[in-house]
Amino acid sequence: MASDRILRHKGIDRLFHWITAAAVLILLATGLLPVLGVDFDWLPIHWVAGIVLIVVILFHIGRSLFSQSVRSMLIGPRDLGALASDLGLGSSTVKEGKYLAAQRLMHHVIALFTLIAIGTGAVMLVKIDTPFWKRQPYWLQESTWGIVYSFHDLAALAFVTLIMLHIYFALRPEKIFYTRSMISGWMTRQDYLDHHDPALWPADEKKEQN
């Protein structure tokens, strides 16, 4: 008899998601609260959380390239029709593969700003003293540092918008089973059949699905 539960996210992927979420929230809080007038020693927390984020993102990139299906994350023009359905605004439900078009689009936008944030953040690490290295403030010209800071700030500001939207859609009643699957790992067979095309995401091979 078929199981009522479909494995959607392995434990390692759920762990990655929640470590990333915690790191991003810590980075936003430590980066933006001082801007809002909350004064505290934010820099040590910020750079440690930044290094954690860099490590888990490198892990995720490696795992995605070598042991997961990159194809399941591709997005193309034919996915545009599915977006309205994904957002609950279509006239009918479009059944998709493992990841909905809206989920893939959100992933790619978040990935873009994450790469900008950790790329510029990694460069900015040379400007601070840590137990592991001494600061090199003159490594770049002052005007070049300004460009690096601007891209870092842009990523931080974009994250304010993106995280708010991500949490909003994650808490929508019709999408809450995806959030539950990011906690428990599974979704019900009924939700799977209602929202996914078994030809595009075969549940019978769930143990091999990444």
Instruction: Provide the binding-site residues for another protein, judged by CB under 8 A.
Output: 32, 35-36, 87-89, 142-143, 146-147, 149-150, 152-154, 157-158, 160-162, 164-165, 168, 173-174
* Amino acid occupying residue 182: M
Using an 8 Å Cβ cutoff, are 128 and 188 in contact?
Answer: no
Which is nearer to another protein, 25 or 200 (by Cβ)?
25
Which is nearer to another protein, 61 or 112 (by Cβ)?
112
Taking the complex as a whole, the smallest distance from the CB of residue 153 to another protein amounts, in Å, to 4
Q: How many residues does the chain have?
A: 210
Using an 8 Å Cβ cutoff, are 189 and 4 in contact?
Answer: yes
Q: What is the DSSP secondary structure assignment for residue 138, as one 8-state letter?
A: T
Over the Cα atoms of the chain, what is R_g? 20
Which is nearer to another protein, 9 or 152 (by Cβ)?
152
* CA–CA gap between residue 194 and residue 178 (Å, rounded): 13
Taking the complex as a whole, the smallest distance from the CB of residue 147 to another protein amounts, in Å, to 7
Which is nearer to another protein, 57 or 162 (by Cβ)?
162
Which is nearer to another protein, 32 or 45 (by Cβ)?
32
CA distances from residue 87 to 8, 13, 183 in whole angstroms, order as listed? 20, 24, 22
Judged by DSSP in three states, 94 sits in: coil
Taking the complex as a whole, the smallest distance from the CB of residue 208 to another protein amounts, in Å, to 34
Taking the complex as a whole, the smallest distance from the CB of residue 193 to another protein amounts, in Å, to 18
Token pair, residue 136, equals 């090199």
Taking the complex as a whole, the smallest distance from the CB of residue 143 to another protein amounts, in Å, to 6
